Amino acid sequence: MKSWLRQHQYAFRVAILRLLAQPFSSLTNITVVALALSVPLISWAILLSAQPVVQQIPVATEITVYLRADLATEDVSAIEKNLRNHYSDQIEHIQKVDKNQALAQLKKDPTWADALGVLTTNPLPDALILRLKSLSDQSETANLLASAIQKIEGVDRVQLDRDWLKRLEALLGFGRVALLILSLSVAVIVVATVFNTIRLQALNQRQEIAVARLVGATESFVRRPFLYVGAISGGISCLMAALLSRIILNPLNSALNRLAISYDTQLALNLPNSGDLLVATLLIMVIAAMAARWSVTKNTPF
């Protein structure tokens, strides 16, 4: 155990010395990775900060059920009760729109008053407005429910804004794909930067590696410092990216506050909590270490 710890302490010390031996090159590579990491980090902060606001936007799906005009009041109440009993797990609220109240409301509008005044009977049907609960498969649930309600006796027509649901799902799908592509692009940048850095170090220290092999150094002993170089570079890049993101968010928050005040509200962009940042940093360090191992294995024959 002590021997294993001494080997890792030696590798860590060698990695630090190699980074300090070429300060400009090391700082340049770390800055490139940090700038790449700051983009998804700021996007992450925007998504986290916007989530509470988005949740307050009423996006509940509504289904309008138009009943037959010849139905009696008892039949309308029976259909409403039937929907409450059989679809309570999908329907959050049912609003009944009485046809007489709807007609009286239309007569208050001068545009419709003259036309409705010549009618001897009420042409409007009773209607039920169903507000659905928020579900993961909102579009599919709404379509199935609309089809089932259409088959109920006494229902004339069911109206569902399917196009709005399709646009919402398409927008959410685009956001997920965009975030995935952005994350993969950042991972490629990290791998490429670390790979090139370790390749140059391995080529410059080829003679040193050859001498180490002659005196009995194992492959893992020779490669371990390079892995630490990659991991340390990734960790410092994450810390620098967090610092850059915090600096960038300051002017964004100032502009956002001026906009929010005009709407009598408050909104601020905040970075993820320390736990999430720690997990992201460890992940980047692992990716950088794996890229370093790949580079030193490919460019240093053993």
Confidence of residue 223 (pLDDT cuts 50, 70, 90): confident
Does residue 162 surpass a pLDDT of 80?
A: no
Read off the pLDDT of each residue in 125-153 and give the average, rounded to a whole number: 80
Q: Are 245 and 271 in contact (CB under 8 A)?
A: yes
User: What confidence category does residue 59 fall into, taking pLDDT thresholds of 50, 70 and 90?
Assistant: low
Backbone angles phi, psi at 71, to 5 degrees: -75, 145
Domains of the chain: 2-56+168-299 (no CATH), 62-160 (3.30.70.3040)
Would you state the pLDDT for residue 9? Answer: 81
pLDDT over 60 (residue 185): yes
Q: Is the pLDDT reported for residue 261 higher than 80?
A: no
- Residue 294: per-residue pLDDT: 82
> How much is the pLDDT for 299?
66
Q: Which of 116-120, 153-157, 161-165, 295-299 has the lowest mean pLDDT?
A: 161-165
Query: Is 198 buried (19+), middle (13-18) or exposed (0-12) by CB count in 10 A?
Result: buried
State residue 179's pLDDT score: 66
What is the structure's pLDDT at 212?
63
Over residues 167-193, mean pLDDT? 72
Residue with the bigger pLDDT between 169 and 35: it is 35
Question: What does the pLDDT read at residue 69?
Answer: 81
Q: How far apart are CA 227 and CA 290, in angstroms?
A: 7
Mean pLDDT, residues 229-254: 87
Q: What is the mean pLDDT of the chain?
A: 77
Band the pLDDT of 300: cuts 50, 70, 90. low
What digits encode the pLDDT tens for the residues 275-287? Answer: 888 888 888 888 8
Residues 6+ apart with CB under 8 A from 74: none
Token output for 65: 């059920």
Higher pLDDT, 176 or 82: 82
Confidence of residue 225 (pLDDT cuts 50, 70, 90): confident
Residue 89, pLDDT above cutoff 70: yes
Q: Read off the pLDDT band of 107 (50, 70, 90).
A: confident
Mean pLDDT of 60-69: 81
Residue 75 has pLDDT above 70, yes or no: yes
Nearest to 49 by CA among 284, 257, 241: 257
Is 289:233 a contact under the CB 8 Å cutoff? no
Q: What average pLDDT does range 257-286 have in this prediction?
A: 79
pTM above 0.85, yes or no: no
Strands 127-132 and 62-67 come out as antiparallel
